[in-house]
Structure 1
Amino acid sequence: MESSGKSFADALKMVRERSSPEELIKWIPSEKSVAAPFVPSLMILTLNVLALCPNEITSLKNIPDNLRLRLINRMCDKSTMNAAVLRLLVERSPTEIRVKNCSWLTQEQFHHTIGNCDTTKLQVLQLDLCGQCMLDIAFKDILNKCQECFPTLTILSLRGACGLSDDGLRNLVKSAPLLRSINLGQCTLLTSAAVNCIADVLGSQLRELYIDECNKIDAMQILPAFKKFTCLEVLSVAHMRTINDQFVNGLVTASACGKVLKDLDFSDCNRLTDNSLKIIGTTCDDLRSLDISNLNKLTDSGLEYLANGCKSIQKLKLCRNEFSDVAVAAFLESSGESLLELFLNSIVKVGPHTALSLAKCSRKLVSLDVSWCRKISNEGLGLIVDSCSSLKMLKIFGSGYEFNDLLYRYMIERGDQML
């Protein structure tokens, strides 16, 4: 029977009636052909070298957006990004400016780069972690040029902009009438008024909203705003202390909102209980991604609500929760067939039942994190790797595996990226 055809209760009964899972897991490496070891392309090697030598770059003209983004991301990762490269990014009339780490950017550098940029064709603006800048002041020169100085902007990410206030955001939002995605995570000055303003201006068109770790925002004060977000598909409210079951119930039952939600992040919202998962399971049947990491009030019943209602989840984060081995296994048996990414980090009860169900029912997995899941044996891990042929990323930090030579050599030959 396919995993999607079982109810959670039937799957749980089947898992509990298994023979000892340790006895069922008898793994030996497959003799089928293995992937060739990964060899970096000339493009990757070139990008890595350029990322280490930013001052040698004299132009980014005619470089495709995707390639330019890969280079800038590498510079951010290596802490080599600087104002000279940013100046090259903003030349002429760019369509995209994406910098995921602007912690080095000063107010003066902002003025001489972004402040002098022609923004008429700009569609994506990402200036994350720009904590040195008072963005209300930094954007003033741009906003003074005209009323709608971002006429084509659809994606705005100012994550970690601790100098952005409600008034500054209000002016930005009003100058960008086509915005579809806004990332304001870790913008610690923002209050509930900011979200209500976004709803008033962009409510009928906004599709993505990230306000995680904005703890001046009161969840219940912004709840009425979600009735205006008729097209909202992605919402992150992680680490927000005021998020509770009442908020989740109001969110997913808001007019049109619950039915279109596809990606939710409630990680570290410690007031949530199984009741939240019940309303999500009964309402959000088109959910594709869910993060419920570190919610210490959740029980196995919460997994049952998800398994019976959300059959299309592709990315699921369950890290640092108290779910049992049999409950996780039953979830995989009933709803694990569509999973592409699964994060089980620090679920200490996860063990052989989960390993067996992963190998049986989640063969489309591309990424798996079983860090600190010390009850999964070498043989269980080998069975997962052998059965999930699409697996590209496997994280096993802190799992205490003492790999025998056979397992280690097999995983390396398979070409898996093991961390």
Structure 2
Amino acid sequence: MSRNNVRGPTSALTEFLRESGITPTTIARRRATGDAANGNQPVAGPSNSAQNIGDGENNGEGDEQTTPRRRARNRRSGYDSDDLDEPEDTPATKKRKLTKAAQEKAKEKAKKKGKKGDGGDDGDEEEDPYTALSKSAWSGAPVKPPVGNLEKCAKCEKEFTVTKYTMAANPGPGFLCHKCAKESGADPFKKPASPRKRKAPAEKRTVVNFEQSRFPTLASLCINIITRHIDDVEALGDIGNINMDQIAKAISKNRSLTPENAHLFYDVQNTTLTLYDVTNLTPLGLCALASLNPNLTSLRLDKCGRMDNTVLSSWSNSLPSLTRLELVGPFLVRAPAWQSFFASHPSLTGFLITHSPRFDLECMTALRKHCTGLTELRLREVQKLDDEFVDIMKKMTGLTYLDLGYPESSLSEEALVELMTGVGQGLTHLDLSGHVLVTDTFLMEGIKAQARVLTGLALANVPLLTDEGVAEFFDAWAMKCESDELPSNPPLTTLDLSRNTTLSSSALIAILSHSGATLTHLNINGWKGTSEESLNQIAARAKELRSLDVGWCREIDNFVMKAIMDKCEKVKEVKVFGCNRLTEHCPRKRNVNIYGVEAHMQVV
């Protein structure tokens, strides 16, 4: 006889019961256990005994011949009807092996039980799901009587009719009438709060810009190739100064300038050098820059955050002809290094720095003492700038360019008026953006009374300026000063009054009346209250515009834009962020870049 463990097909229900541990053996054992508990002990016997088959004489013999094989077949198939009454110490009573899914489920239950900390024994066996009490029996929650029944209130003991709003007493048992339920602080008629809807994630929008793409020239194609292969261009030789600045701008976009390829821009004959991103140049590389360009007279370095005292000390000796220095981010240079540099360069005429928190009053004193011919001064985002600087700067009567924008603390209006008294008559460019203490008084007493040749003015983010005050200032600026016979200030060419939300139509009309004919750059970003009629005056009066920023001027629409496109023939760039009246039919013009048309935004 074959001993292979082969069995025939079974139904899906039989297979499911077998995997769940439900077999005839376990069912019979559970039934026998129940009968024993009730006092009815059944008499078990083999199903193939002689009494059942009617052959008493061959009882024992038939058992010996047939039982072992039948038992083996029944155990292999999972049905053992002859062993229903096996003793408890037989292997049939051993725990069955759990499947992997059942084992994982048992582990999860054990973890939950451990977290509850109910103090139960770890060795307690899991309850049988067939004999365990239902969950409702353990919950202790009272069963609500049917609607319409009469119940006695657990508090006032009056009878009332049960409704769907009837509430259980707390503490129980029993239920409360509506009156007692309200007195207990609960409102039986209150509707359950609807679940809060989860806010949808904010839409990410891409604002479309109209940029004029022209057919690239051969020079631009070469510049792009050089930019992509900047590390391999040393063998090209002389590229020419005309395209060198364009290459420097191109490689600054992806921060590709390194000490190895920076030699492309170095030459002993260089007199001017501009690099727009020198983040990757180490202090040693910045020292090498000065050694390989000893004849520089003008140097501009942006993002020079790794520059320190050793670099500036090296420049004091390596760049003897330097007359103009422009740096963005030299925040590691300390005051003694600045003072030594000023002492070694008395011929300095331009000193322009941005974001230098260590530049203090002593540095300013050294600059005034040694560099007497200074004409350009920028101290932008200098933390230690205060009114004491004014006592030194007002003596620099030769200044033509002055930028004191965005200090940590605004200079007082009195100090700024005093500064304009000293240097105002020679200034051609003035930037006092971010000085939040400036008011209309400074416009009249500082600029109108002192400025004579100013062509560029920036007063961005000066919240105390008013629409009426700015309008009065520009209306009166064209007239001669009453105190003397000096000529009035000529019209401006660049004006930045952005982020001043109080300015509106009156100020814009006065500006265009005074300087509209000569303005090339105008920035009124944030003038949200400006009327459509005054915005139309831009196209009528400012026909020399090259750059215009009217972002967040809410009255800008297609008709205003069409007038600007048609009448401002020299305009090259227009920014219209926040102008939501512009539609998808916003006028366009060849060679004019329009940025921020929200009607063309794409939701991603």
TM-score, reference length from structure 2: 0.58
Aligned residues of 1:95 and 1:124 also touching (Cα < 8 A): yes
Alignment of 1:39-50 (within 5 A): 39-50=215-226
Per-residue CA deviations over 1:78-123 (Å, capped at 9, x if unaligned) read 3212212323333434322211222222223334x2253352x111
SS of alignment partner, residue 49 of structure 1: helix
- Specify the SS of the correspondent of 2:351: strand
Aligned to 1:140: 313
- Is it true that 1:191 corresponds to 2:371 in the alignment? no
Distance 2:513 2:234 in 1: 55
Secondary structure in 2 aligned to 1:158?
strand
Task: Tell me, yes or no, if the aligned pair for 1:52 and 1:78 is still in contact at 8 Å.
Answer: no
Q: Tell me, in whole angstroms, the C-alpha distance in 1 between the residues paired with 2:277 and 2:213.
A: 32
- Mapping of residues 280-319 of structure 1, within 5 Å: 280-300=447-467, 301-309=469-477, 310-319=489-498
For CA contacts below 8 A with separation 6 or more, give which structure has more relative contact order.
Answer: 1
Counterpart residue type for residue 525 of structure 2 = N
Count of residue pairs the alignment pairs up: 369
Please list every run of 5 or more consecutive structure 1 residues that lacks an aligned counterpart in the other structure. Answer: 1-35
Question: What is the aligned counterpart of 1:374 among 548, 554, 567?
Answer: 554
Q: Report the CA distance between 1:142 and its aligned residue.
A: 4.4
Whole-Å separation in 2 of the counterparts to 1:317 and 1:265: 9
SS of residue paired to 1:55: helix
2: CA distance between counterparts of 1:268 and 1:367?
22
Task: For 2:513 and 2:525, locate their aligned partners in 1 and report how far apart those are by CA, in whole Å.
Answer: 19
Aligned CA distance change for structure 1 residues 290 and 142 (closer, same or farther; 3 Å): closer
Question: Contact 1:200–1:228 (CA<8 Å) still a contact in 2?
Answer: no
- Residue 156 of structure 1: SS of its match in structure 2? strand
Q: Which amino acid aligns with 2:416?
A: V
Partner of residue 117 from structure 1, selected from 282, 286, 292: 292
Query: Which stretch of structure 1 is more off in the superposition, 354-363 or 53-62?
Result: 53-62
Partners of 2:340 and 2:414 lie apart in 1 by: 31
Q: Equivalent residue of 2:536, what SS?
A: helix
Please give the alpha-carbon distance, in whole angstroms, between the structure 2 residues aligned to 1:294 and 1:164: 29
Residue identity matched to 2:493: Q
Provide closer, same or farther for how the CA distance between residues 60 and 340 of structure 1 changes in structure 2, counting only shifts above 3 A.
farther
Does the C-alpha gap of structure 1 residues 303 and 251 become closer, same or farther in structure 2, counting only changes over 3 Å? Answer: farther
Aligned residue number for residue 261 of structure 1: 427
Residue 256 of structure 2 corresponds to residue 89 of structure 1: no
Amino-acid identity (%): 23
Q: 1:360 aligns with which of 502, 517, 540?
A: 540
Which residue of the partner structure matches residue 75 of structure 2?
none
Q: Distance in 2 between matches of 1:252 and 1:350?
A: 30
Cα distance in 2 between the residues matched to 1:192 and 1:224: 10
* Post-superposition offset of 1:298: 0.3
Aligned to 1:232: 399
Match of 2:205 in 1: none
How far has the Cα of 1:401 moved from its partner?
A: 4.1
Distance 1:388 1:369, change over 3 A: same
Query: Residues 311 and 323 from structure 1, CA distance in 2 versus in 1: closer, same or farther, beyond 3 angstroms?
Result: farther
1:16-31 mapped onto 2 (5 Å cutoff): none
Residues 306 and 81 (structure 1), Cα distance of their counterparts in 2 relative to 1, 3 Å cut: farther
- Give the superposition deviation at 1:160: 0.7
Could you list the per-position Cα deviations for residues 179-229 of structure 1 after superposition, in whole angstroms to 9, with x for gaps in the alignment?
2111111111111222221111113x11111101001122x2111222431
Cα gap change, 1:258/1:161 in structure 2, threshold over 3 Å: closer, same or farther? same
Aligned partners of 2:441 and 2:237: how far apart in 1?
A: 53
Are 1:416 and 2:585 an aligned pair? Answer: no
Question: CA–CA distance in 2 between the matches of 1:379 and 1:317?
Answer: 24
CA contact (8 A) 1:338 1:362 kept: yes
Alpha-carbon distance in structure 1 between the residues aligned to 2:255 and 2:391: 41
Residue 260 of structure 2: SS of its match in structure 1?
helix
Q: CA deviation at 1:60?
A: 7.4
Structure 2 counterpart SS, 1:127: strand
CA contact (8 A) 1:265 1:291 kept: yes
1:23 aligns with none
Give, in angstroms, the shift of residue 297 of structure 1: 0.3
TM alignment of 1:111-260, pairs within 5 A: 111=287, 113-114=288-289, 116-119=291-294, 121-134=295-308, 136-143=309-316, 145=317, 149-203=318-372, 205-218=373-386, 220-240=387-407, 241-254=409-422, 257-260=423-426
Q: Distance in 1 between matches of 2:435 and 2:394?
A: 22
Per the TM alignment, residue 138 of structure 1 is displaced from its structure 2 partner at its CA by 2.1
In 1, the alpha carbon distance for the partners of 2:581 and 2:526 equals 15
Aligned mates of 1:46, 1:350 — CA distance in 2 = 46
Looking at structure 2, the residues matched to 307 and 213 of structure 1 have their Cα atoms a distance apart, in angstroms, of 32
Q: 1:326 to 1:217 in 2, by over 3 A?
A: closer
- Partner SS state of residue 283, structure 1: coil
SS of the equivalent of 2:328 reads coil
Q: Does the 8 Å contact 2:345/2:371 carry over to 1?
A: no
- Which letter does structure 1 place at the counterpart of 2:345? A
In 2, distance between residues paired with 1:64 and 1:260? 37
Residues in 2 aligned to 1:59 and 1:248: alpha-carbon distance in whole angstroms: 54
Amino acid aligned to 1:288? T
Structure 1 or 2, whichever has the larger Rg, is 2
The DSSP-based 3-state class of the residue aligned with 1:264 is: strand
C-alpha contact 2:505 2:531 (8 A) present in aligned 1: yes
Q: Secondary structure at the match of 1:174?
A: helix
The SS at the match of 2:571 is coil
Distance 1:401 1:341, change over 3 A: same
Change (3 A) 1:142 1:298: closer
Residue in 1 that maps onto 2:234: 58
Unmatched runs of 5 consecutive residues or more in structure 2: 1-211, 478-488, 596-604
CA RMSD of aligned residues (A): 2.1
Q: Of 250, 258, 272, which residue of structure 1 is paired with 2:438? A: 272
Aligned AA for 1:114? L
- Separation in structure 1 between the aligned mates of residue 517 and residue 315 of structure 2, nearest angstrom: 49
